[in-house]
Amino acid sequence: MPPDTTLPEFLALAGEPVEFRALIRQVSFAAKRVAAELRVAGLQGMLGSTGHINVQGETVQRLDQYANEMFVQNLLRVPAVSDLVSEEMDEGLHLARHKGEYALLFDPIDGSSNLDVNLTIGSIFSVRRPGDVLAKGRCQIAAGYIAYGPATVCVLAMRQHGVHFFTLDPSIGEFLWTRGPVTMPERGGTYGANEAHTEDWSEPVRGFVQWLRGESHHSTRYSGALVGDFQRILVDGGVYLYPGDATNPHGKLRLLYEAAPLAFIADCAGGRAVSEDADILEIVPAAIHQRTPLIVGSRAEIDRFLPAR
Ligand code: AHM
Ligand code: MG
């Protein structure tokens, strides 16, 4: 890629249609707003909760609300986007006046518990056809996330072009291409899971984690934010798991705007994602806020847990 290739320029060079480019431009604009707000939130009293509980039964943080508004406000400007689904909205938003080529499904702030402690968080998004919102994950047109870490990085996966990283240069306010197409290593050296739940996991999951720790000599890395943990695995290989347990058989993560987009990215990079008994990309959702167990990572490890059929 030529030096200083911006995200919009990359998409134009890749031959992506102007409507899709407009969608990604507005996603990246929302991300720039969120990144800017995160930098000063602690100084301006923007941390902490709103006192509201969302449809998931979780406390809404001020920044969850702010990021959701930024995504909605910016995507409303794209005539080709006719449906929005967000972790922070009880119902999907249908924009009848729009032409309707795309639906955007997103988690505006992933890893909210990291907000108040100034650690990495993310935003996750998935692009589908409006008629495919409740279709299996393989129908996604594109998926990506933004990791707000030491640098703000936008990762975008498209079937034909693979997975590419764009890093925000704050001095010019542009996401610049930094690497790609990225391939996930065939196997890795770390795994990430909330091991406080070990006792409540199923026998196969417990056995798998025992194998990772023992015979396979993996180390543990877990940050409490899926985007950060996933990015480590995308770059270095390994496994991230959030399985179901006795009280929550479907785990914690949401299928449409957390598990499926990351499964799509993993798949485009040569990795794999499964629930405890199926490929994530094959699951047909029944509801927009449906949860699923998620085990995602390098091919060698995931195939060992659930051999590909
Ligand atoms: P959120 O979108 O409400 O922040 O929830 C998703 C997060 C993931 O980022 C993370 O991997 C997981 O929940 C952490 O859960 P736990 O605190 O139970 O380990
Ligand atoms: Mg989330």
- Return the amino acid letter for 248: N
- What are the chain's domains? 7-179 (3.30.540.10), 190-304 (3.40.190.80)
- Please, which residues have CB within 8 angstroms of residue 104's CB and are 6 or more apart in sequence? 23, 27, 71, 75, 81, 83, 84, 85, 125, 126, 127
CA 286 to chain centroid, in Å, comes to: 20
3-state DSSP assignment of residue 105? strand
Q: From CA 87, how far away is CA 228, in angstroms rounded?
A: 18
Atom of ligand 1 nearest to the CA of 252: 13
pLDDT, mean of each 10-residue run, the chain (309 residues): 95 97 98 96 83 83 94 96 96 88 97 93 98 98 98 97 98 97 98 97 97 97 98 98 95 98 98 97 98 98 93
61 CA → ligand 2 middle, Å: 12
Nearest-CA residue for ligand 1 atom 11 is 226
Does ligand 1 come within 6 angstroms of the Cβ of 58?
yes
Q: From CA 226, how far away is CA 42, in angstroms rounded?
A: 22
HSE, side-chain direction, 13 A CA sphere, residue 208: 26
Does ligand 1 come within 6 angstroms of the Cβ of 113?
yes
Q: From CA 294, how far away is CA 281, in angstroms rounded?
A: 11
